[in-house]
Amino acid sequence: MVLGVSGGIAAYKACELLRRLKDDGHDVTPIPTPATLGFVGETTWAALSGKPIRTRVDEDAHLVPHVTMGRAADLVFVAPATADLMARVAAGRCDDLLTATILTATCPIVMAPAMHTEMWLNAATQANVATLRERGITVIDPAEGRLTGADTGPGRLVEPAELLLHARSVLADPEVARSAARQDLAGVRLVVSAGGTREQLDPVRYLGNHSSGLMGFAIARAARLRGATVTVVAGAVDHEPPAGCTVEEVVSTADLDAAMRRHEADADAIVMAAAPADFTPASRADGKIKKDDESSRLQLDLVQTPDVLHGLAQRRDASSTSATGTRRTPLLVGFAAETAGSVEALTDLARAKRRRKGCDLIVANDVSGGAIFGAADTSTLLVDEERAIPVAGDKNVVGHRIVDWVSSQQSAD
């Protein structure tokens, strides 16, 4: 792949991205623009990539590098993409090696912008972004946060760890790039829950589970890339939420239930990827529960927590206008973590849970032996009213397949 780097202060983050891409097993050729070398020098790019660095088309002209690299690449990933770089690409200019390579590339092209807020929001930049997307180029909206100096706002380069996940998704399935360029979920309001919940026993202990939040975050990341407005309701998670999402943190299943009630009325689709605890202590100890030297047992009185997914379905159906032919909203996607033992058993369990919960799609996992939780890869069945579709691989790619289903339902309206 080609890693394009344009001349902005965020170029230093591309060094980390280059290292992460190489550690991930990719053959990466960096192409900095001439302006980039004023921020990060040629020696750094050569040392990190192990390759000679070119910035101009006339360097090693007998090799015609812009054509050979553009034809050979599986992905051209530009990070950071400055306002100037995007304007030149939108205009079809090729006044350095990077822009010339982009013009010859037939593979997916992804750009991760970074600039000051005023530059990002400027009408000219937004028009250039629209032009690039119309031409099939994926543009990742920048994050909001600290910029140069004391300034903050939208325009910050998405962190390298997250950019790596986008690169993985596009390399695994080029259709991801096409969907992102089309912004097929623009205007869709999506709420995603992620992670586990914690039910307090005393001030220091809780009941919980092994959910890491990776799958919920992958779905949120995919939907945000494709234009959706995304709210993430996050319980206990092991990772940072995706850039560009509104995040509400919760602790217990009761907290999760209350948050979903607040968001359901404004949502077009809800994905319940969280793993809420099914039971909670009937009462919480005010102080730390001490060991009793006279007994080797601790007895707990547990009560069931609210069934968040089923409650969403019940409230939706109670106010549904489906009798007039209008699709029920919001769409509901549930998850089923089962210890099934076989694909057939998992399918049966998923279909039964879909009917019991009243949701539109169930994403079923076989978690026998602790599989799936916290892992980068997953193996699932997407079960709706008609089909049971096996989907496996990196969770970010699976996230796009789930978002595909949501997009297909929105398109059917």
Regarding whether 51 and 17 lie in a shared domain, the answer is yes
Beta bridge partners of 280: 303
Regarding whether 141 and 55 lie in a shared domain, the answer is yes
Boundary (domain end) residue, out of 145, 162, 182? 182
In a domain, 243, yes or no: yes
Nearest residue to 40 via CA among 1, 78, 8, 2: 8
Output the domain CATH number for residue 330: 3.40.50.10300
Residue 230: give the domain boundaries. 189-277+301-411
| Amino acid type, 189 | R
Regarding whether 156 and 31 lie in a shared domain, the answer is yes
Catalytic residue at 209? Answer: yes
Output the domain CATH number for residue 114: 3.40.50.1950
Query: What is the residue-level pLDDT of the chain in tens, covering all 413 positions?
Result: 999 999 999 999 999 999 999 999 999 999 999 999 999 999 999 999 999 999 987 676 666 666 788 889 999 999 999 999 999 999 999 999 999 999 999 999 999 999 999 999 999 999 999 999 999 999 999 999 888 878 889 999 999 999 999 999 999 999 999 999 999 999 999 999 999 999 999 999 999 988 899 999 999 999 999 999 999 999 999 999 999 999 999 999 999 999 999 999 999 999 999 999 999 999 999 999 888 767 778 889 999 999 999 999 999 998 865 444 555 689 999 998 888 778 888 999 999 999 999 999 999 988 776 556 667 888 899 999 989 999 988 999 999 999 999 999 987 66
Residue 63 has a pLDDT of 64
In a domain, 31, yes or no: yes
In a domain, 292, yes or no: no
Regarding whether 330 and 394 lie in a shared domain, the answer is yes
Set 122, 128, 209, 365: catalytic member: 209
Regarding whether 178 and 197 lie in a shared domain, the answer is no
Nearest residue to 223 via CA among 186, 196, 260, 171: 186
User: Rounded CA gap, 195 and 217, in Å?
Assistant: 9
Nearby residues of 26 by Cβ (< 8 Å), 6 or more positions away: 1, 167, 171
Regarding whether 121 and 194 lie in a shared domain, the answer is no
Q: Is 404 annotated as a binding residue?
A: no
In a domain, 282, yes or no: no
8 A C-beta contact, residue 334 and residue 361: yes
Regarding whether 169 and 55 lie in a shared domain, the answer is yes
Regarding whether 208 and 114 lie in a shared domain, the answer is no
What is the total count of domains within the chain? 2
Boundary (domain end) residue, out of 182, 205, 231? 182
Q: Is 353 annotated as a binding residue?
A: yes
Residue 371 has a pLDDT of 55
User: Rounded CA gap, 81 and 3, in Å?
Assistant: 11
In a domain, 43, yes or no: yes
In a domain, 293, yes or no: no
In a domain, 406, yes or no: yes
Regarding whether 234 and 140 lie in a shared domain, the answer is no
Regarding whether 112 and 220 lie in a shared domain, the answer is no
Residue 259 has a pLDDT of 97
Q: Is 257 annotated as a binding residue?
A: no
Regarding whether 230 and 118 lie in a shared domain, the answer is no
Q: Is 367 annotated as a binding residue?
A: no
Regarding whether 126 and 244 lie in a shared domain, the answer is no
For residue 240, give the 3-state DSSP assignment. coil
Q: Is 357 annotated as a binding residue?
A: yes
For residue 77, give the 3-state DSSP assignment. strand
Strands 76-81 and 29-32: unpaired
User: Rounded CA gap, 236 and 372, in Å?
Assistant: 16
State residue 166 phi and psi, 5-degree precision: -65, -40
State how far Cα 149 lies from the chain centre.
Answer: 29
Boundary (domain end) residue, out of 159, 182, 205? 182
**Region for 191 from its dihedrals, namely left if φ exceeds 0, alpha if ψ lies in -120 to 50, beta otherwise:** beta
The model's pTM: 0.91
Nearby residues of 405 by Cβ (< 8 Å), 6 or more positions away: 333, 361, 382, 384
Q: Is 308 annotated as a binding residue?
A: yes
For residue 339, give the 3-state DSSP assignment. coil
In a domain, 139, yes or no: yes
